[in-house]
Amino acid sequence: MDEITRAALNFDQLLKSTYVFTLSKKRKILEFSVDFVNTDFFHIAGLQYLDDIVFDQTRNRTISLVLSGVISDQLLSSAVMYHTVAGIEHSDVRGRIRRLIKLERYLDTDNIIRVYVVRPQDRGSLIDADYVIKSQLPEDTSPVFIFLRKRSKGDCYGISSMFEKKSNEYAGEQLFWMKKTKITNGIENVLYKHPNYEG
């Protein structure tokens, strides 16, 4: 199965889920939810960087175009930025797609090692985000950064970008995990709870 197809199938399943993150910031509790919409997939996969090939870039159709085979690994691999290009920051879209396949695992794992409030001086940069999560799975040689941004409508946050750590380190004011809950089709599953948290 194509890697882009696996990523789309897994993301399509995440559309049924919402995560509730409960964090501690300077001894005060902070809670917010992260949800998923199908238009997020295009940007998280890095498809906006493949501007040297022609394909339908209608973001609310991307997942269905992938699942129907219109957008395939073969098509994407003909783009220069699909591959790692020395000196070009946003190359290696294939690497993004490979990490996107495991997005749910990155969010579910109890091995999420850091979460930060993005520093004020970094807001408005190329990565527009409010929070950044640094996560690593046992088989990974390096962690991924998952950037969260408040949606323009509603109270939830969405993933604005996600990629493997290469040279840059992203940080800010560190927060501490108190509780992590995943709600899928109305069923709540507590993935992590700090031993001292009573909520």
* pTM beyond 0.75: yes
Residues 23-36, mean pLDDT to the nearest whole number: 93
CA 46 to chain centre: 11
pLDDT at 117: 83
Residue 124: predicted pLDDT: 46
The DSSP letter of residue 26 is T
**DSSP single-letter state for residue 143:** -
Mean pLDDT (the chain) is 90
33-66 confidence digits (pLDDT tens): 999 999 999 999 999 999 999 999 999 999 999 9
pLDDT at residue number 121: 53
User: What's the whole-number mean pLDDT along residues 177-185?
Assistant: 95
Core vs surface per residue 14-24: b (16+ CB within 10 A) or e: beebbbbbbbb
Token output for 142: 């390096």
77-136 residue pLDDT tens: 999 999 988 767 678 999 999 999 999 999 999 866 788 887 655 544 567 889 999 999
Using CA atoms, how far apart are residues 196 and 199, in angstroms rounded to an integer? 9
DSSP state of 119: P
What is the distance between the alpha carbons of residues 131 and 145, in angstroms, rounded to a whole number? 10
CA angle 28, 156, 192 (to 5 degrees): 55
Rg from Cα positions in the chain: 17
SS3 state of residue 157 = strand
Indicate whether 169 pLDDT > 80: no
**β-pair partners for 147:** 132, 161
